[in-house]
Structure 1
Amino acid sequence: MSDFSCKVHPALGGDTLVVESGGAIQILTGGKFLNNAGTQAAALVPPAATAAALTSYGYTQTQADAIVTWIRAADAALKAAGITA
């Protein structure tokens, strides 16, 4: 008799989904992560890039500010969806 162990399974009590080492959750087309309210986070549109490169990092200050704003919005959306704390 062989041992069988699922890498993705509900925890004892069923209130948490456990993903063991080597396991994965794949969201197929049409699938969603939903927050407690049952709503999906809005799509985040990354800032537009232009050819201007004035800082040592290769971005204008306006572009850098837009990137920081986008990262903060992405972080807020992930927190609102319960994906990060």
Structure 2
Amino acid sequence: MGLLSKNYKENGGDKWVVGGTLEIKEGASFLVEGKPFTGGTLIESQEESNATTVAALRDDFNELLVKLKAAGLMK
């Protein structure tokens, strides 16, 4: 009987598959593009759009983009 693991490497190690829980312990780090990933920042909730014109919808969308960028979730 072989070992069945939920966590394994694929593509020669280019991809790591986690089928269980990934726990990052105190003192460890998780990097995304060489920078520490902290799990993101909670941002102010975006109200549902009541836009009735394309221009108003654009304004609502741009407001959301500003919030995402300010939180560091977008470049």
Q: Normalising to structure 2: TM-score of the pair? A: 0.49
Q: Which has the higher strand share?
A: 2
Q: Which has the higher contact order (CA 8 A, sep 6+)?
A: 1
Q: Normalising to structure 1: TM-score of the pair? A: 0.44
